C-alpha cells in the first residue's frame, strides 16, 4: 500500500507520528525463539544489585506504573481512592524513613475504563498525572469499528490524555498487515493529541514472528507506545515477548528516528519481576527509555509489593552496578 499518511493533528504532539506502511520492513523479521529464551533466562540468573541502588530502582518503578482498575466492581469512590494513591504512592512515614520525602513521586498514570475517565480527571485535578482510558472495544476489540472509534473520541473529550487501544487480532493471525495498519492509523487520528498505547494481546498472536510484525505495523501507524497485553488473556506479559518487542522498537528507532515507548502489562505483581523488566529495557534500549515518557507497567497490585519491599529493606535487584537513580 503506497499512500500518504491520513490527516492528523500536529505531528509534533506525538512521540511517534508514524510513517507510511512498508511491507519490506516486515519481510526482514525472523525471530529465533530459542535465542530469545536463552537471552531472557540469562537475565533472571544475574546476581543481585547491592543495597545502595535498591531504593532508587524501586522508586523509578513506582514512577512508571499505570495504576489500574478495570473491574466490573469499579465505582467512583474506588477510582477516587486509586487517584489518591497515585498522588502519594508511598506513606509519608516510609518516605521519611527513606529520606525521599522531597521527591515529586507519583505513579505514571491512572488507567480506567471510559466510564470512569471524568471521575479520575476530577480526582487528579491540580496534579500532572494523566488519565489513561482503555477504549476501542477493550478487551476483545470485536465491537463495530464505528463504535470503537466513537469510544476513543469520547474518552479524549472526557479528558483522557492517554488512550490504550486494542487491535483486531484476526488481522495478525491472517497476516493482513495492511488492514492492521489502517485500523491503528484510524485510532491514531481519533486519539487527536492524546498519546496512544497499542495493546497487541501477544498471548493470542500464536508466535514471536507475529508479535514482532504486529509491533512494527503498530509503530508505523503512529503508536506512541506498544503494550503486551490487556491483562485479561490467559498469557500476558512475558520476558521473551518483551525482548522481541523491545528489539523491534530499537529497529523502528534506527529506521525512523522516533522513540516508541513500551508497556508490559498483566501478571507483573512483584517488585522482583518489575526489576527484571526494567533491566531488560536498560540493556536493550538504554537509560533514555527508563522514564515514564517511554516505559510503563500496567499493574494494579505491583505498587503494594514494592511498598512492602521498601518497608522491609530486603528488595533484590538483578543488575549489579547500574545507576538507575530516580
Tens-digit pLDDT profile for residues 265-323:
999 999 999 999 999 999 999 999 999 999 999 998 999 999 999 998 644 444 433 44
Confidence tier at 325 by pLDDT (50, 70, 90): very low
Q: In what order do the strands lie in the sheet with 261-263?
A: 261-263, 225-227, 195-199, 162-166, 131-134, 109-113, 65-68, 297-299
Per-residue b/e over 138-147, b at no fewer than 16 CB within 10 Å?
beebeeeeee
Whether 254 shows a pLDDT value over 90: the answer reads yes
If you search the block for the grid coordinates 513506582, which residue do you land on?
A: 62
Which one, of 183, 241, 197, 205, lies nearest residue 31 by Cα?
241
Strands (DSSP E) contained in 114-260 are 131-134, 162-166, 195-199, 225-227
* Model pLDDT for residues 180-217, shown as the tens digit of each residue: 999 999 999 999 999 999 999 999 999 999 999 999 99
Instruction: Give the pLDDT score at 15.
Output: 81
pLDDT value at position 8? 39
pLDDT average, residue stretch 117-126: 98
Q: CB atoms < 10 A from the CB of 125, how many?
A: 10
152-179 pLDDT, tens per residue? 999 999 999 999 999 999 999 999 999 9
Task: Assess whether pLDDT exceeds 80 at residue 11.
Answer: no
Chain centroid to Cα 1, Å, comes to 29
86: nearest Cα among 135, 134, 131: 131
- Using the Cα atoms of residue 255, residue 202, residue 300 and residue 144 in order, give the sign of their dihedral: positive
Residues annotated as catalytic are 164, 227, 263
pLDDT of residue 150 exceeding 60, the answer is yes
pLDDT in tens, 27-52: 989 999 999 999 999 887 775 666 66
Amino acid at each position: 500500500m503506497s499512500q500518504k499518511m491520513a490527516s492528523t493533528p500536529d505531528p509534533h504532539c506525538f512521540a511517534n507520528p508514524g510513517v507510511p506502511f512498508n511491507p519490506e520492513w516486515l519481510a526482514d523479521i525472523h525471530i529465533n525463539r530459542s535465542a530469545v529464551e536463552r537471552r531472557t533466562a540469562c537475565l533472571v540468573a544475574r546476581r543481585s544489585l547491592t543495597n545502595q541502588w535498591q531504593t532508587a530502582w524501586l522508586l523509578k518503578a513506582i514512577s512508571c506504573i499505570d495504576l489500574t482498575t478495570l473491574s466490573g466492581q469499579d465505582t467512583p469512590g474506588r477510582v477516587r481512592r486509586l487517584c489518591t494513591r497515585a498522588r502519594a504512592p508511598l506513606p509519608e512515614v516510609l518516605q521519611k524513613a527513606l529520606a525521599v520525602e522531597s521527591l515529586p513521586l507519583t505513579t505514571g498514570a491512572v488507567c480506567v475504563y471510559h466510564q470512569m475517565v471524568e471521575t479520575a480527571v476530577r480526582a487528579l485535578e491540580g496534579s500532572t498525572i494523566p488519565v489513561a482510558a482503555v477504549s476501542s472495544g477493550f478487551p476483545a476489540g470485536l465491537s463495530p469499528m464505528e463504535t470503537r472509534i466513537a469510544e476513543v473520541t469520547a474518552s479524549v473529550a472526557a479528558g483522557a490524555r492517554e488512550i490504550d487501544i486494542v487491535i483486531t487480532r484476526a488481522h495478525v493471525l491472517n497476516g493482513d498487515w495492511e488492514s492492521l495498519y489502517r485500523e491503528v492509523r484510524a485510532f491514531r487520528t481519533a486519539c487527536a493529541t492524546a498519546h496512544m498505547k497499542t495493546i497487541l494481546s501477544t498471548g493470542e498472536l500464536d508466535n514471536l514472528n507475529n508479535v514482532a510484525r504486529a509491533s512494527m505495523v503498530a509503530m508505523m501507524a503512529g503508536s506512541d507506545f506498544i503494550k503486551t497485553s490487556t491483562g485479561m488473556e490467559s498469557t500476558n506479559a512475558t520476558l521473551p515477548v518483551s525482548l522481541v518487542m523491545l528489539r523491534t522498537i530499537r529497529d523502528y528507532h534506527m529506521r525512523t528516528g522516533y522513540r516508541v515507548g513500551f508497556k508490559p502489562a498483566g501478571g507483573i505483581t512483584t517488585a522482583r519481576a518489575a526489576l527484571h523488566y526494567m533491566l531488560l529495557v536498560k540493556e536493550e534500549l538504554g537509560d533514555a527509555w527508563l522514564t515514564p515518557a517511554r516505559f510503563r507497567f500496567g499493574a494494579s497490585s505491583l505498587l503494594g509489593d514494592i511498598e512492602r519491599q521498601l518497608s522491609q529493606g530486603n528488595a533484590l535487584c538483578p543488575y549489579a552496578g547500574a545507576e538507575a537513580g530516580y
